[in-house]
Amino acid sequence: MLFRRNCCLQLFVALSIVLPAWAQRPPEGEARPPIHVRGNATNGPTGLAPAQIRHAYGFDQLANLGAGQTIAIVDAFDDPNAESDLAVFNSTFGLPACTTVNGCFHKIYGSGRKPRADAGWSLEISLDVEWAHSIAPQAKILLVEAASSKFSDLLQAVDVAVKNGASVVSMSFGGTDFSSEMSSDYHFAAAHVTFVASSGDSGNGVEYPAASPNVVAVGGTTLQILDSNGSYGGETAWSGSGGGQSAYETEPGYQSGYPIPNNPNGKRGVPDVAYDADPNTGFPVYDTVSYQGQTGWFQVGGTSAGSPQWAALFAISNSLRAGNGKLPLSNTNLEVYATAQVITYGANFHDITAGTNGTCGTLCNAATGYDYVTGLGSPQAATLVPALVSQP
């Protein structure tokens, strides 16, 4: 089985473009993403800057920046310019340097051998590395490149990430929910490691590994900001946000005890949480591996943008836990749902109550409380992180 990246990319000009066949939903067994391109790369960044996102979600109210933690970014194929592109990104936005020399950045190969370069996956890697660092700039970034987009190669890279000391693993990829997926859930069961995955960019429907009960699945929203500082102005569900009920995974205890709604068959609900994913309110990414013949600054959206940024939130939480003499989060969805109980829910999450990801009725609509488009909602980091630190 092959996985596709959950990155929806969009560059902005006033054009309406019909997507070529290669850019649409990939055929069975291929790993091509649902990429949407309008116009060309730009010479300067567009979209929401790191300072705006940090302010919108409350990260700028936290003094901790993830020191002592390692965020693993697992993607397919090689990005030969990942470190140098990150350097340009950091210089542009005034972020701390993250290099091999200073020990912040490290790239390894899931199979032990350097894979071939791939321009599409390189753009995904740039997004993941640059935005994980934006949110937790003192955490180390471990880029683990899988030999290919095959299921077996990506999960091998996940195992390598854990063996190399990652306390959080971000996975911006997914494949169709499949009948034998439970046999792979053990890859995400390492003690004191948090696994985060994007939920998909094709609207209603469940993907793996987001469907694994051991994974924190991140859905998508459209974020509104009120000013140039990034003041939070609300969110609606993004139409591309993957979500629904797994056909195969049973409902885990943290959901049955919550409980999640409309689930008479007792199946795992996806996603668990949400983050800005709409390309129209997307993220600047610097990439020079000639994506569709273009290099420079891209404005990127998709649920793959939320996975590394939620991973950074968990790294910050783990850093604070270490300062309190606690081990990193383990079985993290237990802690996430525990922080969303009635008394604390509104303080820790932005509840997304409007928007839809399909035409399937209740299961496709955002609603008060948990829903199958945005999960529990997006983070209010200034209160959610301390709540996660307080968990056992």
The secondary structure of 189-251 as a DSSP string is --TT-EEEEE--SSSBB-EETTTSTTEEEEEEEEEEESSTT--EEEEEE-TT--BEEEEEEEP
Query: pLDDT per residue over 16-26, tens digit each?
Result: 223 333 234 44
Taking only the tens of pLDDT, the chain with its 392 residues reads 555 566 544 333 322 223 333 234 443 333 344 344 444 688 999 999 999 999 999 999 999 999 999 999 999 999 999 999 999 999 999 999 999 999 999 999 999 999 999 998 999 999 999 999 999 999 999 999 999 998 889 999 999 999 999 999 999 998 888 899 999 999 999 999 999 999 999 999 999 999 999 999 999 999 999 999 999 999 999 999 999 999 999 999 999 999 899 998 999 999 999 999 999 999 999 999 988 889 999 999 999 999 999 999 999 999 999 999 999 999 999 999 999 998 899 999 999 999 999 999 999 999 999 999 999 999 999 999 999 999 99
pLDDT of residue 21: 34
Contacts 24+ apart (CB under 8 A), 330-333: 330/191, 330/192, 330/193, 330/194, 331/214, 332/194, 332/195, 332/216, 333/213, 333/214, 333/215, 333/216, 333/252, 333/254, 333/272
pLDDT of residue 5: 61
Cβ atoms within 10 Å, residue 134: 23
Between CA 374 and CA 158 the distance in angstroms is 25
Relative orientation angle of helices 119-135 and 82-93, to the nearest 10 degrees:
40
Query: pLDDT per residue over 132-167, tens digit each?
Result: 999 999 999 999 999 999 888 999 999 999 999 999
Provide the token pair at 291: 């994506």
For 27-57, b/e burial (b = at least 16 CB within 10 A) is eeeebbbbbbbeeebbeebebbbbbbbbbbb
SS3 50: helix
Q: What is the DSSP annotation of 340-353? A: TSTTTHHHHEE---
Between CA 257 and CA 333 the distance in angstroms is 12
CB 315 within 8 A of CB 196: no
pLDDT of residue 25: 42
CB 367 within 8 A of CB 251: no
Cβ atoms within 10 Å, residue 127: 30
Between CA 164 and CA 358 the distance in angstroms is 40
CB 199 within 8 A of CB 305: no
In the chain, domain spans: 4-390
Closest CA to 213 of 256, 168, 265, 161: 256
From residue 135, how far is each of 36, 66, 262, 306 by CA, in Å?
25, 9, 35, 11
Between CA 253 and CA 75 the distance in angstroms is 30
Between CA 169 and CA 73 the distance in angstroms is 6
Q: What is the CATH number of domain 4-390?
A: 3.40.50.200
Provide the token pair at 116: 């071939």
Provide the token pair at 292: 């569709």
pLDDT of residue 41: 80
pLDDT of residue 2: 55
Angle at 76 between CA 70 and CA 78, to 5 degrees: 85
Instruction: Give the largest CA-CA distance in the chain.
Output: 55
32 contact partners, CB below 8 Å, separation of at least 6: 4, 22, 23, 26, 120
pTM for the structure as a whole: 0.94
CB 119 within 8 A of CB 82: no
Between CA 134 and CA 81 the distance in angstroms is 18
